[in-house]
A and B are shown apart, each in its own frame.
Chain A
Amino acid sequence: MELNGITEKILKEITDWDGIFSGAYSLRENGECISFQNSDHIRIVKKEDKPGIDIYISEKASGETVYIPACVTKSDVKDLVYNDFHVQSGADVIIVAGCGVHTDGEEGSNHNGIHRFFLEAGSHAVYKEKHIGFGEGSGKRIIDPVTYAEIGDGAVLEMETLQLGGVDSTVRDTKAVLSKDAKLIIHESILTDGEETAETKFAVDLDGEDSSVDLVSRSVARGNSVQEYSSVINGKVRCTGHSECDAILSENGRVNAAPALNASSTDASLIHEAAIGKIAGEQIIKLMTLGLTEEEAEEKIIAGFLGA
């Protein structure tokens, strides 16, 4: 497969691509699917009524990985895509998504991925998503992902999302509904710098008995960047919910956090933790006593904090 250099660069950044994807994949470039491949247990079908694909993961998938990266390589691309994941009962799958936006002109580009997950009872999916932006152009790089998940009885969805700067603006909107014994684990990391803005919103309905959510959001706001965090966990039955929002500020960075817990059952156990502040001076000093410079120490602390 012949790819342009920017697409290759994006793929290397957001996936473990080394010239080839083994197994199922769908590669999107500048608003079009340019290549895809099915595997024995994962079938990718192009949507007829709108841009996007349906990904069918069979019960026989066991630890298989499917890649669905999206690359925007130039200015003035407005990409909107609808991807639906249908995970059959008993399936165990890793979904590697992610998006890179490169602009080289004055016009901005954006990618809006609307992802829906339908996890049948007892299935397990790990969703890994990395967003990057780069390029010399002044055009804005915008990524606005929307995620909706229905998690069936005893099913588990783990989401690891990472955005490490270069994206001028992002609005992330994540909603999930959990059935009995279902589990949702979210680890989100966002770094903003310069004039970048990031907004992330979570709404989780714990509808099924003994369902649980563990939502950890870590953010770093540098330069003049601004981040907004909001989460709502609704515990309607016996369930457990934990959300944690930690932010590191440097320079003129700003973070606003608005976590909410709504419990309408005496057996709903919901916890929220939040901390916003600069890097603790003692952390930098400790790493300096191990031989790092102040700048290296700060980078190490931020990389560890974000899981980068």
Chain B
Amino acid sequence: MLSLVDVKLDLETKDNLINGVSLDIMPGKLTVITGPNGGGKTSLAKLIAGLYVPTSGKILLDGEDISHLSVTDRAKKGIAYAFQQPVSFKGITVRELLEIASGNEMSEMKMCRILEKVGLCAREYMDREMDSHLSGGEMKRIEIATVLSRPAKYIVFDEPEAGIDLWSFTSLIDAFETLKKDEDRALLIISHQERILQIADYIAVIKDGLITQSGTKDEVLPELMDGSRGYCPKGKEIF
């Protein structure tokens, strides 16, 4: 289990980004963090992946305090993180990036299986460079594919729906549903998207750096959808 225990985060640019969050992310389950923009969702994801170090509180991975471990060490311990904004690399191909992610050379068939999940054809994409010649949507799908390639136990997706077309989104939902069947893997998705909330096991709403609601999907989603708690994901566009 991955646990956040009273985690707080101040940055030079902004205090109280995360204001005391406790949360358990369990294997075999899909946890979705939602909430208004600027509420702290991405900061929380970056805290888990190690891009930020908590100002106070602890992050425990299967009981071990990883709060001060580097990004690399956390990755090696089985945390994977899909960026909200994909990163471009001049000269590094999609194939190379996927192989770095998986830690091994990849057969074309395996690459096909992974890229298919994000709606891309391996033959068309694997030798292309991960640079500005790809569209934003293509980059985003490859970003997700890098994380799907990882042999990770805890997988964090930051707004995977952003920049994805409807068809690819449907296959992405299928990929998430397959992933969550794996009892050994925990899935954490940051999202505004109703369809992702629909497949969640647990939902936490974060606002102003605090969790304002959390529980099972059946407990949280109805209240979210009627807007009675001040935030409603209804009608959020996926594009």
Contact = CB atoms under 8 A, between A and B. Distances in A.
Nearest to A305: B91
Contacts of A288: 70-72, 75
A186 interface: no
Interface in A256-308: 280, 282-283, 285-294, 300-301, 303-307
Contact of B91 (A287, A289, A294, A304): A304
Interface in B120-163: 146, 150
A300 B80 contact: no
Contacts of A303: 91
Dominant secondary structure at the A interface: helix
Dominant secondary structure at the B interface: mixed
Interface stretch (B96-104, B164-172, B175-183): B96-104
Contacts of B71: 285, 288-289
A286 B101 CA distance: 10
B92 A300 contact: yes
Nearest to B46: A285
Contacts of A280: 87
A16 B8 CA distance: 56
Contacts of B100: 287, 290-292, 300
A287 B98 CA distance: 11
Given A285-B51, A285-B71, A304-B96, A290 B101 contact: yes
Interface size class of B (residues with CB under 8 A): 20 to 34
B76 A291 contact: yes
A283 B86 CA distance: 10
A291 B101 CA distance: 7
Nearest to B150: A290
A292 B89 CA distance: 15
Interface in B84-117: 87, 89-93, 96-97, 100-101, 103
Contacts of A173: none
A264 B215 CA distance: 70
A305 B93 CA distance: 10
Contacts of B51: 285, 289
B150 A304 contact: no
A289 B90 contact: no
B90 A291 contact: no
B75 A290 contact: yes
A289 B90 CA distance: 18
Interface in A155-183: none
A61 B50 CA distance: 57
Nearest to B90: A305
A19 B113 CA distance: 40
A150 interface: no
Contacts of B101: 290-291
A283 B89 contact: yes
Nearest to A280: B87
B83 interface: yes
A305 B129 CA distance: 10
Q: Which of B50, B91, B97, B103 has the most CB of A within 10 A?
A: B91
Nearest to B93: A304
Interface string A78-93: 0000000000000000
Contacts of A304: 89-93, 96
A228 interface: no
Interface of B: 49-51, 70-72, 75-76, 80-81, 83, 87, 89-93, 96-97, 100-101, 103, 146, 150
